[in-house]
Structure 1
Amino acid sequence: MTHVKFNHSPLPRLVEDIFNSGWNKYVKDDFLTSDFFTTHPPVNIVETKDAFLLDVVAPGFVKEDFKISADDKAITISAERKAEAKTEGDKQVRREFNFKSFKRSFSITETVDVNRIQAKYENGILKVTLSKKENKQDAPKEIVVE
């Protein structure tokens, strides 16, 4: 008689499903390839006393390629670079880079003054300044105890 051992634990099957299913494809195809980083440029966000500072790494663009829109809830930054026209007779020997369009949106708080947002593009970095609203505090009011 042969002794057969059964593994009733669902954990090994669950782990196998995670790595062999669409999740693995999603991670491998989007995050681990350079495609993810070229379509979603890295962004640094710093909060100062007076503003939020967004730095978007986007080398190879010109300032006319960017479009920035904002409302009370979000700011959207996008860029699109038109393909370079080929000169007749030129032969492409090697092409290792291209510029892809991107679009990123960020939620903003009610402290941001949408009318005072500024942007500047220099050295491959788009610098967006989201100024905060000025806090106008009322003068302390004296309360008389009766």
Structure 2
Amino acid sequence: MTRLIPWRETTKSLEAFRREMDRIFDKFFERMPFVEQEFVPSVDISETDNEIIVQAEIPGIDPRDLDISLNGRFLTIKGEKKSEHEEKRENYHKIERKYGTFSRTLELPADVDPDKVEAKYKDGVLKIVLSKIESGKRIEVKID
């Protein structure tokens, strides 16, 4: 039956291609030691029948320094991870922890209700639960 709908195959192929290109570019920029990396939280996105769950690792941040916004299927998490050390004359041998402002925009896998979004921050993990909305039910049409 899906072959009768020509754009469905094309849409799946384009989506798979886009994901593969995203993966390739992410791997490429991950391995570039000469590029100064900024703090970007790691994110997991999961889905149930009724919800989309986004979990972001953001340790050492005050939840008041976070800003979460939703625009259609795009969820943006912004914030600032403030430096914990004062400007003293300490002899650092290595500083690997990242500080500063960050912004991460994620495309959600389904449409969500902007009025039904919950966010909790606990133990360095921001958990955002978004309720899905039905976007177009499949209706079977009989042909006479």
How does the TM-score come out when normalised to structure 1? 0.59
Residues 82 and 100 of structure 2 are in contact (CA less than 8 Å); yes or no, is this contact kept in structure 1? no
**2: CA distance between counterparts of 1:47 and 1:39?**
26
Please say if residues 68 and 75 of structure 1, whose CA atoms lie closer than 8 Å, have aligned partners that are also in contact.
Answer: yes
The one of 89, 94, 97 equivalent to 1:91 is 89
Which residue in 2 is equivalent to 1:75? 75
Counterpart CA distance in 2 for 1:56 and 1:100 is 16
Q: What is the CA deviation profile of residues 73-121 of structure 1, one whole-angstrom value per residue up to 9, with x for unaligned ones?
A: 311111113445737xx43232623423221112236631111111111
In structure 2, the partner of 1:49 is 49
Partner of 1:31: 30
Question: For the Cα contact (< 8 Å) 1:43–1:56, is it kept in 2?
Answer: yes
- 2:111 is equivalent to residue 116 of structure 1: no
> For structure 2, which runs of at least 5 residues remain unmatched after alignment?
1-26, 138-144
Q: Which amino acid aligns with 1:92?
A: E
State how many pairs are aligned: 106
Percent identity between the two aligned chains: 27
Q: Post-superposition, which runs of at least 4 consecutive aligned residues in structure 1 deviate over 4 A?
A: 33-36
Per the alignment, residue 133 of structure 1 pairs with: 133
RMSD: 3.0
Query: TM-score of the superposition, structure 2-length normalised?
Result: 0.59
Which amino acid is 2:81 matched to? Answer: R
**Structure 1 counterpart of 2:74, one-letter code:** A
The structure whose Rg is larger is: 1
